[in-house]
């Protein structure tokens, strides 16, 4: 649905007196191809545990009183929609349902061939909740993430809120991606930011009537980029995005050299195709230029925040090498897209 269309569901703000607002989790299954189902199972364990804590009123001590009152008013029967672009075998479906049984109303929907953002929209179209929380199958929430994220809606001026995403600096690869990738370092400040510099779709919540006025737009032959378009649509509606840094999730780095190469090539391609899917010098200049800028930023952050991520001086050359390798391949992705946009569009669908 486009920004100009009317919402298809009754506004939460016009619900019958005394009605409890319901939450819908929308969990894409696409990222399990790269990070495996075991990490998704850990995520589901966290969702179940944290939702049970909310239902019992066992809130974090850091949760504001207004947020606690808001959570007290939620419907205890939240729903979980798992959306996949390929069929799951019977054992997997049974395992997933068993993980949330008795806590979340679980439905598994399959739309063969759909990728990351289309799966999110597919799930949202089938959700009945007044709040929609999109969460990726490869992130791991910290304790208190769910209460703080949902509790943000206690403020009537907040219609869209995301948690902070970071990469845990575990080992050389984890430290390299914590310092050199797209995410900021873990922030313990607890700030609530209005229109943060970057927004990600891996843990983001909406009032449903607002999301249904924008949705995740199609991004053509790219893999990523719909959040930027969604943000523009929200800007046109005058709706800011907020980031609650009391709600944090850990995003994994690439799990192998192959995964890193595929991710970097796709990254370069997507920047090349940001404005046009045709061969263009502007796309080439942008993809190579962004790679160079992010490499420089990653190296500068390594020098500045080495101690914060627990890296020794001996590890700095290794960390710098990983960052450099990623952005060299990123630039190669842009060059290969310039050579053959169609071939690059068919491959590296991550």
Q: Over the stretch 277-313, which tens digit does the pLDDT of each residue have?
A: 999 999 999 999 999 999 999 999 999 999 999 999 9
Cβ contact 287:272 at 8 Å: yes
In a domain, 300, yes or no: yes
Q: At 18, is the pLDDT very low, low, confident or very high (cuts 50, 70, 90)?
A: low
pLDDT one-digit tens code per residue, 87-144:
998 899 999 999 999 999 999 999 999 999 999 999 999 999 999 999 999 999 999 9
Give the mean model confidence (pLDDT) for residues 190-217: 97
Do residues 268 and 245 both lie within one domain? Answer: no
pLDDT in tens, 46-55: 999 999 999 9
- Supply the mean pLDDT for the chain: 93
**Any domain includes 5:** no
* Residue 147 lies inside a defined structural domain of this protein: yes
Three-class SS state of 198: coil
Confidence band for 34, pLDDT divided at 50, 70 and 90: confident
306 and 193, same structural domain? Answer: no
78-87 pLDDT, tens digit per residue, is: 999 999 999 9
Say yes or no: 289 and 189 in one domain.
Answer: no
The structural domain count of the chain equals: 2
Q: Would you say residue 29 has pLDDT above 80?
A: yes
**Statement to judge: residues 240 and 292 lie in one domain:** no
The CATH number of whichever domain residue 236 belongs to comes to 3.90.550.10
174 shares its domain with 295: no
Within-domain flag for 12: no
What is d(CA 284, CA 57) in angstroms, rounded to the nearest whole number? 53
Residue 5: which pLDDT band, with cuts at 50, 70 and 90?
Answer: very low
Tokens describing residue 176:
């390299």
Out of 229, 250, 271, a domain closes at 250
CA distance 138 to 102: 23
- From the list 316, 50, 42, 53, the residue with the least C-alpha distance to 176 is 316
Dihedral over Cα of 85, 91, 97, 98: its sign? negative
Three-class SS state of 279: coil
User: How confident is the model at residue 12, as a pLDDT?
Assistant: 37
Q: Output the pTM of the full model.
A: 0.92
CA–CA gap between residue 200 and residue 166 (Å, rounded)? 11
DSSP state of 21: B
Nearest to 287 by CA among 308, 273, 306, 304: 273
Same-domain check for residues 228 and 276: no
Same domain? For 150 and 279 the reply is no
pLDDT number for residue 332: 98
The answer to the question of residue 6 being in a domain is no
- Strand ranges, E, within 218-315: 242-250
pLDDT surpassing 60 at residue 11:
no
Range of the domain at 332: 257-346
- Per-residue pLDDT band at 64 (split at 50, 70, 90): very high
**Is the domain of 44 the same as that of 90?**
yes
Work out the average pLDDT over 336-343: 97
Residue 9 lies in a domain: no
Closest to 324 measured CA to CA, from 289, 348, 301, 291:
291
Question: At which of 227, 250, 273 does a domain end?
Answer: 250
163 and 83 within one domain: yes
pLDDT of 19 reads 74
Among the candidates 216, 250, 284, a domain finishes at 250
Q: What angle do CA 214, 218, 223 make, to 5 degrees?
A: 125
Do 187 and 292 belong together in one domain?
no
What's the token pair of residue 1?
Answer: 């649905």
Q: What is the mean pLDDT of residues 237-257?
A: 97
Clarify whether residues 232 and 315 are in a common domain. Answer: no
Q: Are residues 241 and 304 in the same domain?
A: no
β-pairing, 242-250 with 140-141? antiparallel
- At residue 33, the pLDDT reads 86
Please indicate, yes or no, if residue 30 is contained in any of the structural domains: yes
Let me know if residue 221 belongs to a domain: yes
């Amino acid at each position: 649905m486009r920004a100009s269309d009317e919402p298809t569901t009754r506004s939460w703000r016009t619900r019958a007196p005394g009605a409890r607002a319901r939450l819908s989790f929308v969990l894409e299954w696409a990222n399990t191809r790269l990070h495996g189902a075991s990490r998704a199972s850990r995520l589901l364990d966290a969702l179940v545990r944290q939702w049970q804590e909310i239902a019992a009123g066992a809130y974090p001590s850091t949760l504001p009183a207004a947020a606690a009152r808001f959570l007290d008013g939620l419907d205890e029967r939240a729903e979980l929609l798992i959306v996949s672009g390929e069929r799951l075998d019977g054992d997997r479906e049974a395992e997933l349902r068993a993980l949330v049984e008795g806590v979340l109303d679980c439905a598994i929907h399959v739309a063969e061939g759909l990728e990351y953002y289309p799966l999110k929209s597919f799930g949202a179209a089938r959700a009945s909740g007044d709040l929609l929380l999109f969460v990726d199958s490869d992130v791991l929430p910290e304790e208190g993430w769910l209460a703080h994220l949902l509790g943000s809606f206690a403020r009537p001026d907040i219609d869209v809120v995301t948690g902070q995403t970071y990469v845990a600096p575990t080992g050389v690869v984890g430290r390299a991606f914590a310092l050199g990738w797209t995410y900021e370092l873990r922030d313990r400040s607890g700030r609530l930011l209005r229109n943060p510099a970057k927004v990600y779709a891996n843990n983001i919540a909406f009032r449903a009537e607002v999301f249904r006025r924008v949705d995740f737009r199609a991004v053509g032959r790219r893999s990523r980029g719909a959040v930027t378009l969604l943000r523009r649509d929200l800007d046109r509606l005058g709706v800011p995005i907020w980031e609650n840094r009391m709600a944090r999730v850990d995003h994994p780095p690439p799990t192998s050299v192959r995964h890193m190469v595929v991710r970097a090539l796709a990254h370069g391609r997507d920047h090349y195709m940001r404005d046009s899917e045709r061969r263009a010098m502007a796309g080439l200049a942008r993809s190579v230029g962004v790679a160079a800028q992010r490499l420089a930023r990653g190296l500068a952050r390594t020098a500045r925040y080495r101690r914060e991520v627990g890296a020794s001086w001996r590890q700095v050359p290794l960390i710098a090498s990983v960052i450099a390798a990623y952005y060299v391949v990123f630039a190669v992705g842009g060059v290969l897209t310039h050579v053959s946009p169609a071939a690059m569009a068919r491959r590296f669908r991550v």
